[in-house]
């Protein structure tokens, strides 16, 4: 099945024939559903910190920063913003020429409120010798949209979200990437340095670098910090093979077709980062400065809880490695694992001391993450659950609907009645107590990917996504869920989301 030409192609991508064979087998067998114990709720897997606890953890985090620990903010930013403009692309190809749908009417009725309005106006003047208002007055609405989306204008239809102007200030505008510059200065600075890392596509890396070169000095002066900003691209070796309806390799002009493995591929990029604590947040979940205080408070809360729990786990690991741990100390460790890290295993009650020590050591000696969870308001996406692992333990996991058997009434009910939603708001600790980096791919549950149906040049194909970065890619991490307010979750899925009050 694999020709010499195929093998050369695979070698170039850094993918082995064995990996391809395994992926082809998985297309035939599918991924197993995960067995879930219940949806995580307040008091059952999700912490709800009170005012005194929040204050305590904020102090914990501030002291951690002052101690000079290596902190980094990791922002997945490689996806194009084309889906943000789906409705406007449809308008361009529609048979009618004036705004007809509610979306189109809202866009044009409020067009002056967009942070990119001045740039769009300049583009219209350059390409059409008319302002936006003049084009609209003449009924030439599509020319305005064309200037926004096409490469001859602003090219927003092909740029990544990180390079789009999101917010307007008195004398300035900011892209979503710049809002992450600001956030980093407010909660992730240590020794006066803010380390940011963006994962970008090769097509857009140079544009990101230009943005940094143009704007970095401004933010350094504004916040009195220095920025260390780096970029990486999704590795070709994480691409997955595409197949046809019969699960045979999909080919185009005789060549195998591979597709990006989804955000789960970024576990490799994360693994390359050298930092003690890493914040992870999506590129489009940002707000203007007037709403940042809540974001900063709860980011620090998550980080404070993380370093507090990590400190205790490290102390226990040192005790276990030293040996001669008293029974009451083992009991304390067991309760910490069950109650604070929410890793439950009924079998521990029957373990003798030697087995219990080995079990505790294995569970403590793992990467750790604290994840913010917001109350469910009907947003599509994953949520927090108590799920069974391959070793029989039950732990906290972020699951997508595709991982749950919706034909199982009990599992379906748990999913539908979940109280909270995953806003992708994580703080991660990725080193052991000796200061050595964990090899993060070792903690991935490879059985938690999923298969989706796509098309290429009019032909149907099936694609495979790797275990999601905050889903199966972090399955074997110690995980803590914390409720955060809905005001900290303000994603921009469509361009009209920028008209919401929280983005004005």
**For residue range 190-221, what is the model confidence (pLDDT) as tens digits?**
999 999 999 999 999 999 999 999 999 999 99
- Burial of 274 (C-beta count, 10 Å sphere; 0-12/13-18/19+): exposed
Which residue, 344, 348, 366, is CA-closest to 357?
A: 348
65 and 90 within one domain: no
* Per-residue confidence (pLDDT) for residue 215, from 0 to 100: 97
User: Average pLDDT for residues 113-142, to the nearest whole number?
Assistant: 98
Pairing of strands 478-483, 368-375: parallel
User: Average pLDDT for residues 176-180, to the nearest whole number?
Assistant: 98
29 and 154 within one domain: no
Structural domain contains residue 276: no
HSE-up of 32 (CA within 13 Å, CB side)?
A: 9
What band does 106 get if pLDDT is binned at 50, 70 and 90?
very high
* Per-residue confidence (pLDDT) for residue 176, from 0 to 100: 98
95 and 50 within one domain: no
Alpha-carbon distance 234 to 387, whole Å? 29
**Element containing residue 293 per DSSP (H, E):** helix 292-322
Among 114, 139, 159, the domain boundary falls at 159
pLDDT digits (tens, 9 = 90+) for 484-501: 999 999 999 999 999 999
CA separation (Å) from 199 to 261, 316, 333? 14, 35, 38
Q: Check if the beta carbon of residue 221 is closer than 8 Å to that of residue 331.
A: no
Alpha-carbon distance 327 to 321, whole Å? 15
- Decide if pLDDT at 378 tops 80: no
Tell me the whole-structure pTM to 2 decimals.
0.94
Pairing of strands 36-39, 459-465: unpaired
Structural domain contains residue 211: no
Residues 6+ apart with CB under 8 A from 23: 240, 241, 464
- Decide if pLDDT at 377 tops 90: no
135 and 36 within one domain: no
pLDDT digits (tens, 9 = 90+) for 134-172: 999 999 999 999 999 999 999 999 999 999 999 999 989
62 and 90 within one domain: no
User: Average pLDDT for residues 395-409, to the nearest whole number?
Assistant: 91
Question: Which tokens hold the place of 285?
Answer: 């979940």
- Decide if pLDDT at 67 tops 90: yes
436 and 397 within one domain: yes
Q: Which of 170-184, 188-202, 392-406 has the lowest mean pLDDT?
A: 392-406
Among 114, 137, 159, the domain boundary falls at 159
Residue 479, phi then psi, degrees to nearest 5: -130, 140
Residues 6+ apart with CB under 8 A from 468: 262, 263, 264, 382, 398, 400, 448
- Decide if pLDDT at 418 tops 70: yes
What band does 416 get if pLDDT is binned at 50, 70 and 90?
confident
Q: What mean pLDDT is reported for the chain? A: 95
- Decide if pLDDT at 299 tops 80: yes
User: Average pLDDT for residues 57-82, to the nearest whole number?
Assistant: 94
User: Average pLDDT for residues 50-55, to the nearest whole number?
Assistant: 97
471 and 401 within one domain: yes
The number of folded domains in the chain is 2
Which structural domain, as residue segments, surrounds residue 146? 86-159
* Per-residue confidence (pLDDT) for residue 380, from 0 to 100: 65
Alpha-carbon distance 62 to 55, whole Å? 11
């Amino acid at each position: 099945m694999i020709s010499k030409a195929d093998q050369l192609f695979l070698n170039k991508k850094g993918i082995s024939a064995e990996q391809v064979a395994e992926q082809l087998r998985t297309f035939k067998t599918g991924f197993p559903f995960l067995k879930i114990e219940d949806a995580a709720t307040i008091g059952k897997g999700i912490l709800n910190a009170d005012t005194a606890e929040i204050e305590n953890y904020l102090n914990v985090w501030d002291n951690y920063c002052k101690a000079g620990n290596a902190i980094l903010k990791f922002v997945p930013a490689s996806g194009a913003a084309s889906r943000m403009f789906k409705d406007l692309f449809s308008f361009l190809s529609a048979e009618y020429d004036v705004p007809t749908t509610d979306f189109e009417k809202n866009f044009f009725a409020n067009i002056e409120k967009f942070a990119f309005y001045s740039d769009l106006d300049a583009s219209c003047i350059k390409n059409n010798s008319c302002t936006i208002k003049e084009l609209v007055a003449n009924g030439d609405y599509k020319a305005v949209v064309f200037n926004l989306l096409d490469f001859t204008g602003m090219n927003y239809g092909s740029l990544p979200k990180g390079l789009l102007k999101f917010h307007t200030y008195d004398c300035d505008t900011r892209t979503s990437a710049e809002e992450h510059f600001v956030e980093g200065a407010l909660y992730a600075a240590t020794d006066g340095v803010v380390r940011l890392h963006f994962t970008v596509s090769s097509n857009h890396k140079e544009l990101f670098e230009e943005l940094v070169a143009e704007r970095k000095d401004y933010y350094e002066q504004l916040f009195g910090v220095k920025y260390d900003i780096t970029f990486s691209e999704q590795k070709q070796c994480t691409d997955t093979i595409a197949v046809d309806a019969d699960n045979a390799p999909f080919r185009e002009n005789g060549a195998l077709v591979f597709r990006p493995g989804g955000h789960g591929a970024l576990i490799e990029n994360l693994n390359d980062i050298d930092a003690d604590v890493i914040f992870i947040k999506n590129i489009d979940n940002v707000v203007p400065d007037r709403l940042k205080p809540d974001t900063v408070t709860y980011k620090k809360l998550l980080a404070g809880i993380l370093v507090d729990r990590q400190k205790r786990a490290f102390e226990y690991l040192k005790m276990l490695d030293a040996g001669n741990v008293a029974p009451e100390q083992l009991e304390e460790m067991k309760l910490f694992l069950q109650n604070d890290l929410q890793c439950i295993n009924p079998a521990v009650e029957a373990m003798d001391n030697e087995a219990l020590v080995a079990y505790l050591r294995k569970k403590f000696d793992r990467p750790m993450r604290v994840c913010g969870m917001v109350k469910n308001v009907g947003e599509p996406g994953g949520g927090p659950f108590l799920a069974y692992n391959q070793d029989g333990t039950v732990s906290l996991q972020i699951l997508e609907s595709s991982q749950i058997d919706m034909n199982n009434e009990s599992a379906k009910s748990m999913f539908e009645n979940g109280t909270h939603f995953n806003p992708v708001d994580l703080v991660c600790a990725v080193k052991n107590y000796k200061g050595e980096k964990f090899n993060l791919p070792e903690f991935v549950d490879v059985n938690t990917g999923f298969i989706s149906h796509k098309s290429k040049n009019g032909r149907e194909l099936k694609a495979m996504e790797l275990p999601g970065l905050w889903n199966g890619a972090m399955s074997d991490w110690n995980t803590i869920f914390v409720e955060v307010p809905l005001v900290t979750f303000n994603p921009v899925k469509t361009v009209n989301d920028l008209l919401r009050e929280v983005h004005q």
